[in-house]
Amino acid sequence: MNVLNVSNPLYIFVSLAVLLGVLAIIISIHEASHAWAANKLGDPTAKYQGRITLNPIAHIDLIGTILIPLVLIIISLQTGRLFLFGWAKPTPFNPWNLKHPRRDSALISFAGPASNFIVSAILGLIFRISNVELILPILGLNLILGIFNLIPVPPLDGFKVVGGILPKELAYQWLQLERAGPILLLFLLFFILPAIQGPITSILKLLTLIFAGV
């Protein structure tokens, strides 16, 4: 997705503020969806911690919501290509409060990425009606976060979704990988994602076509 590459300091400042603000809202929707799903499935832990809210302050992680996105935005403004992702504080839930712990844990994990795709569908509909170009980068950012979080690498949502789908014996072995989460995530970010950038871009273009018709 193209972004303007200009040297105007005011433009850069406004772009940083707007993109960080949009990312904070998107991440808040994502995390609030986890909390809402957990509460609906019987675990009020996140609710009691005030996480069923769209207020970004309740979800912000200094590194994942501010520092990493800020660096990526600066790189995007220099290259003219928008690539942005981030994360928030993990939404807590107690699986022992759930009626079906493995299945419901997977549903809670899936609720976050699902919210990204639902918002993308709404934005796509608004774009089809209004043809406002500003909507497309926001739609694309939702898609990026939805796809990224579905990658089955700990601590991403896709990891626990797979853990809830696998047979019980395999799921136990699979979930042991969670202890290596930070190393696996760094390997994903620095080695795997750059190598599969082409297919990811193709998927994003296809989903943008489906949602927005462009």
The angle, 0 to 180 degrees and rounded to 10, between the axes of the packed helices 197-212 and 101-130 is 60
Residue 106 lies in a domain: yes
Residue 2 lies in a domain: no
Task: Write the CB contacts of 31 (distance below 8 Å, at least 6 apart in sequence).
Answer: 51, 59, 88, 89, 91, 112
Residue 89: pLDDT above 50? yes
In contact, 142 and 86? CB cutoff 8 Å: no
- Give tens-digit pLDDT for 43-68: 999 999 999 999 999 998 888 888 88
Residue 160 lies in a domain: yes
List the catalytic residue out of 31, 133, 169, 178.
31
pLDDT value for 189: 80
Residue 52 lies in a domain: yes
Task: Write the CB contacts of 165 (distance below 8 Å, at least 6 apart in sequence).
Answer: 106, 171
The domain of 75 spans 9-212
Does the annotation count 31 as an active-site position? Answer: yes
What is this structure's pTM? 0.86
Number of domains within the chain: 1
Residue 107 lies in a domain: yes
Residue 4 lies in a domain: no
Residue 75 lies in a domain: yes
Residue 78: pLDDT above 80? no
pLDDT value for 214: 87
Question: How far is it, in rounded angstroms, from Cα 67 to Cα 71?
Answer: 6
